[in-house]
Amino acid sequence: MTDAVGEQPADVDVWEALRAGIAAVQALHDSREQALERFRLLHNTASLRAGWLEKRLRFQEDLLPLVEARMDTAGGGTDPRARAVLATAFACLDVASMTWVAGDGKGDIMDLYDECLAAVRG
């Protein structure tokens, strides 16, 4: 994910860069069915959910310098905006994947992600 975000052209805004990273991770699934089963397990198994939350926090820390650079914010944790953007992107991914699982994999998870992001960005 970090590589995909970092490889985005400089003129791509932070939201599109993060979307490209999320899409790259989604593309790692061998099939739609595999993705659905993995998300089902993730959302319905407490230990896996806890592990995902821990991993997500690590992803956010890894992505923070890339997001700060795209946003031209002060590094070192002094500007909370980059962290807020990252937390929002991952929250939208969580809601999109939960909705996708609840709908038995109907539709496209990235379309759901886009809908969630549009809602919070207003």
Q: How many CB atoms lie within 10 A of CB 16?
A: 14
CATH number of 2-121: 1.10.357.10
Cα–Cα distance measured from residue 23 to residue 45, given in angstroms and rounded to the nearest whole number = 24
Segment holding 39, helix H or strand E = helix 32-44
Segment holding 111, helix H or strand E = helix 109-121
Q: How many CB atoms lie within 10 A of CB 101?
A: 20
> Phi and psi of 106, rounded to 5°?
-75, 145
Band (24; pLDDT cuts 50, 70, 90): very high
**pTM: predicted TM-score of the whole model, two decimal places:** 0.91
Q: Where are the domains of the chain?
A: 2-121
Cα–Cα distance measured from residue 8 to residue 30, given in angstroms and rounded to the nearest whole number = 24
Residues 23/92, Cβ–Cβ less than 8 Å: no
Band (79; pLDDT cuts 50, 70, 90): confident
Cβ burial of 58 (10 Å; 0-12, 13-18, 19+) is exposed
Would you say how long the chain is, in residues?
122
pLDDT at 51 over 70: yes
